[in-house]
Amino acid sequence: MPKMKTNRGAAKRFRRTAKGYKHRCSLRNHMLSKKAPKRKRQARGLKEVAPAEVSMIDRLLPKKAR
């Protein structure tokens, strides 16, 4: 049986934590002048992935992620 391959796009976007995964918030790349400071501030850092999505990410990342 062949080895399971890690989805490289997912490996760059998600980091495994003890309880699930974290990801970077979206909408922080360009056209930031029209976005409110509160919206930009809350999109900083890493956020938890929703529990409904964890099983899908587990399939994309069969080994340890980063």
Q: What is the pLDDT of residue 65?
A: 56
Is 65 among the domain residues?
A: no
In a domain, 36, yes or no: yes
Domain count, the chain: 1
In this structure, what token pair is assigned to residue 45? Answer: 């850092």
**In-domain check, residue 2:** no
Phi, psi torsion values for 15, nearest 5 degrees: -125, 135
Give the Cα separation of 20 and 14 in Å (integer). 10
The predicted structure's pLDDT at residue 63 = 81
Does the residue 3 lie in any domain?
Answer: no
| Range of the structural domain that residue 39 is part of | 8-60
pLDDT of residue 66: 56
* Ranges of the chain whose pLDDT falls below 70: 64-66
pLDDT attached to residue 53: 94
Token match 């309880």: residue?
Answer: 19
Q: What is the CATH number of the domain that holds 27?
A: 4.10.410.60
